[in-house]
Amino acid sequence: MEKVINLLRNNNINIPRLLLTKYKQLKLTEIELIVLIYILNEDDLCYNPKKISEEVNIKIEDVLEIVNNLISKDILTLEVIKKNNQHNEYLNIDNLYKKLAFFIMSEGEKREEKTNLFDIFEKEFGRTLSPIEYELINAWKDDEKYSEELIVLALKEAVFNGVTNLRYIDRILFEWKKKGIKNAADVEKERINYKGKKGEKKEIFNYDWLNDNDE
């Protein structure tokens, strides 16, 4: 931390916000992050371990190890470029930007998925969801055993039975989870089995355990 503070005091350092929030997901240590921040703020990317060592106040052997680690983690690459009739090694940070861009794209897709699921609920309910309902739907999404497909199927089952509250849907999902139902094919199979056992044309979830729902 002290090394970062010294960098900030002595220079106008630009640090990508996404890098600060995602460096652990990139499996970077704090000292690797410091060296990476330094490299990001260098105009000349000619690889000079001695300069990095002096300016970041890290032993040169540690700098060499850190840069090697960043290369092995596919964050940096070293390229030999000929300039002024001399061959020198240059640091290339394109891989880092690609990884950060991937985070942005992935998070954008997740936000879109959430928005789409919430839109489906609001359309089926004919009203805006409450904050508590948003939290419950998010909890379902975070449960690995509840896919988005399964949540929508439970929603449609509830609407078919004339019930539009999340407690009812939560009970449906709970029962499906106990039965190992994971997708539309499983739901249809269970529906057929139920009809066969009862010998009557009722939907799978016309059970008494659902009759205690609160409208």
Q: What CA–CA distance (Å, rounded) separates 135 from 132?
A: 5
Q: Does 204 lie in the same domain as 140?
A: yes
Does residue 88 lie within any of the structural domains? Answer: yes
Do 114 and 69 fall within a single domain? no
Q: What is the CATH number of the domain that holds 27?
A: 1.10.10.10
- 87 and 112 housed in the same domain: no
Q: Report d(CA 51, CA 103) in Å as an integer.
A: 31
Q: Which helix (H) or strand (E) holds 34?
A: helix 30-40
pLDDT (tens digit per residue) in 157-169: 899 888 888 999 9
pLDDT at res. 39: 92
Q: Let me know whether 161 and 197 are in one domain.
A: yes
Cα separation, 87 vs 64, in Å, equals: 19
Q: Tell whether 57 is covered by a domain.
A: yes
From CA 85, how far away is CA 61, in angstroms rounded? 28
Q: Based on the structure, what is the number of domains in the chain? A: 2
138-148 pLDDT, tens per residue?
A: 888 887 778 88
Q: Containing domain of residue 180, as a range?
A: 108-210
Q: Write the pLDDT tens digit of every residue in 174-187.
A: 888 888 888 888 88
CB 195 within 8 A of CB 188: no
> What is the average pLDDT score of the chain?
82
Q: Are residues 88 and 148 in the same domain?
A: no
Q: Where are the beta strands (DSSP E) in the chain?
A: 77-83, 86-92
pTM over 0.95: no
Ranges of residues in the chain with a pLDDT under 50 are 201-205, 207-213, 215
Question: 40 to each of 19, 35, 76, how far by Cα in Å?
Answer: 11, 9, 11
- Sign of the alpha-carbon dihedral angle for 201, 205, 209, 210: negative
> What per-residue confidence (pLDDT) applies to 142?
81
Q: For 93-106, how does the pLDDT look when each residue is reduced to its tens digit (9 = 90+)?
A: 999 988 888 887 77
